[in-house]
């Protein structure tokens, strides 16, 4: 666990700091997606709010985490899988958000070219967000 975290930071040429370690651990434990407020709660008040903003920005720029579109105002972040190496993102994940417990699941099931676009449109990225009830809440 701890090893993984250090590994991620080193692989991305980021210096190893408490906040970065902690936030990565939180993502690993959560498994799913988190927003800024989730992370703030889980860190207690160990870190400044601003540090969390900046850490998330850094991670996203490095391709360590990615954003998930949501229907409400929040920005969700989730750890990228190994395949999405920096600059070569293929974020065509499917995300499932439970209407009851609000957990976000990353489903690894990636459909092949679901969408038939009209003439002249070029696809670069596709996000699929499914909401409903998850297997724990049913």
Partner DNA sequence: GTAACTGCAAAATATTTGCATCCTT
Partner DNA sequence: AAGGATGCAAATATTTTGCAGTTAC
- Residues in contact with its own copies by the rule CB under 8 A: 67-73, 75, 94, 96, 99, 107, 109, 111, 114-136, 138
Q: Which residues bind DNA (CB under 7 A)?
A: 9, 14-20, 36-37, 46-51, 53-55, 57-58, 73, 75
CA distances for 1 relative to 41, 64, 84, angstroms: 21, 16, 20
Q: Which does 58 bind (CB under 5 to 8 A by kind): DNA, its own copies, none?
A: DNA
Report the C-alpha gap between 103 and 38 in whole angstroms.
11
Nearer Cβ to its own copies (5/98): 98
Measure the CA–CA gap between 134 and 136, rounded to whole angstroms. 5
Residue 3 contact among DNA, its own copies, none, beta carbon within 5 to 8 Å by kind = none
Integer CA distances (angstroms), 29 to 22, 23, 85, in order: 11, 10, 21
Nearer to its own copies, 5 or 106 (CB): 106
């Amino acid at each position: 666990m701890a090893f993984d975290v250090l590994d991620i930071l080193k692989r991305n040429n980021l210096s190893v700091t408490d906040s970065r370690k902690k936030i990565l651990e939180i993502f690993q434990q959560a498994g799913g997606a988190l927003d800024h407020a989730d992370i703030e709660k889980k860190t207690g008040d160990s870190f400044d709010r601003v540090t969390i903003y900046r850490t998330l920005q850094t991670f996203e720029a490095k391709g360590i985490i990615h954003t998930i579109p949501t229907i409400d105002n929040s920005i969700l972040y989730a750890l990228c899988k190994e395949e999405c190496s920096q600059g070569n993102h293929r974020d065509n994940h499917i995300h499932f958000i439970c209407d009851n417990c609000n957990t976000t699941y990353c489903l690894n099931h990636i459909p092949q070219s679901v969408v038939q676009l009209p003439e002249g449109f070029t696809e670069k990225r596709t996000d699929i967000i499914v909401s409903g009830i998850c297997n724990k809440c049913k």
